[in-house]
Amino acid sequence: MFWPDTISKKLGIRYPLIQAPMFGVSTPQMVAAAAKADCLGSLALADLSADECIKLIRETKKLTNQPFAINIFAHEIPVVTSALKEKFVKVRTFLEQLARENNIEVSLPYFEDIKVNGYHELIDAIIRENGKIVSFTFGNLDGKSIQKLKENGVTLIGTCTSVKEALILEESGIDMICVQGTEAGGHRGTFDPNHVLQIGGLSLLSQVYEQVAVPLIYAGGIYNAKTLQAVKDLGAQGFQVGNLLLASEESALEPFEKERLKNVNEDEIVLTKSFSGRYARGVKNKFIEKVENSEYILPYPYQNKLTNGLRKAAKSQQNVDFVGLWAGQSIHHYSELSTEEILRNLINQAEEN
């Protein structure tokens, strides 16, 4: 049998293929389409409020009765200091000026307008909504949250970008670990937001496999049967795909963004903190060139909240130079078929290979 079955049995799915969460790209429709392919969909809730999360969970349940993962951010919230507030004003002024210079009309929020959400309020909401699979990134959940989720029969999937992080997750009792190679698109799952770990996925997976006993899911660069086979040979029992689904029918990306992806080349895929304050891999554009390595980057989530309005305004103008277009290093033709068809095609390729 081609497919390892440890993870699929545990998660109640036929194939151990997981649609990556991809906050801002994935949708409840994408989650449901992944479920139709007998794979695991992931509902990206990031750091939304509990009420927003409940709404999206219920919307997804109306579309599918199959299992799906609920993905949240396990980040630490920066301490509010006068220095942070002063820098916020400076960055806000710079970004508004940059927007005006590029014919984007936008009024960015003041510090007092920003609501920062931690993950703790989401734990009770997920339990109330009977969520049974929770994946998370940007760190580890605290012991009390882990215990509460496990007492309610929730399977936990953590994210690591190093052996050290994998060992922390295993020691905490996390059921499965998603090993994220540097090839992966979007935000890095690194625990420390100020330290970017540039470990290639195959090297990292091999090392993590040797040192932890829990089942491993691999994320980063899987886009065809050969890449899937390679990570399977190195010990992966689950396979997370995101880049492959960016232009899918259910993707939240606009047509102009999908078109940009189809014309991207390898030296345009970069790591940047400019949009969110955390390292993320995406397509280089004018905004990144102006802001990266400048003094105008706040810690996450403040940079992310501040640039959100600018990104929305740019999107409404179809201005690809000021949107955060996340993508991994494996460039392909970016199919616009449904998520179900794309995943079924990958399954068929893998089984024929």
Q: What is the mean pLDDT of residues 32-38?
A: 98
- Looking at residue 93, its pLDDT comes to 97
More confident residue, 235 or 195: 235
Q: Would the pLDDT of 318 be above 90?
A: yes
The pLDDT assigned to 188 comes to 94
Distances (CA, A) of 268 to 257, 297, 327, 329, 349: 14, 21, 10, 9, 28
What CATH class does 1-77+116-246+330-353 carry? alpha beta
Residue 117, pLDDT > 70, answer yes
Q: Give percent above pLDDT 70 in the chain.
A: 100
At 198 the pLDDT is: 81
**% of the chain at pLDDT higher than 90:** 97
Alpha helices in the chain (DSSP H): 6-11, 28-36, 50-63, 82-101, 120-128, 143-151, 163-171, 201-211, 225-233, 255-262, 286-291, 302-316, 339-352
CA Rg value for the chain: 19
**pLDDT tens profile 182-198:** 999 999 999 998 887 78
CA 222 to CA 330: how far, in whole Å?
A: 7
- Average pLDDT score over the chain: 96
The string of pLDDT tens digits covering residues 39-71 is 999 999 999 999 999 999 999 999 999 999 999
Residue 353 has pLDDT above 90, yes or no: no
Contact residues for 163 (Cβ-Cβ < 8 A; gap 6+) = 204, 207, 208, 211
Asked if pLDDT for residue 1 goes beyond 70, the answer is no
Distance CA 293, CA 133 (A): 38
Average pLDDT for 31-40: 98
- Give 290's pLDDT tier (boundaries 50, 70, 90): very high
The pLDDT value recorded for residue 195 is 82
Residues 235, 244 contacting (CB under 8 angstroms):
no
pLDDT (mean) for 24-30: 97
What residue has token string 């029969």? 153
Q: Work out the average pLDDT over 174-186.
A: 96
Mean pLDDT of 320-328: 97
Decide if 40 contacts 18 (C-beta within 8 A): yes
Q: Where are the domains of the chain?
A: 1-77+116-246+330-353, 82-115+265-326
- CB distance 7 to 16 below 8 Å: yes
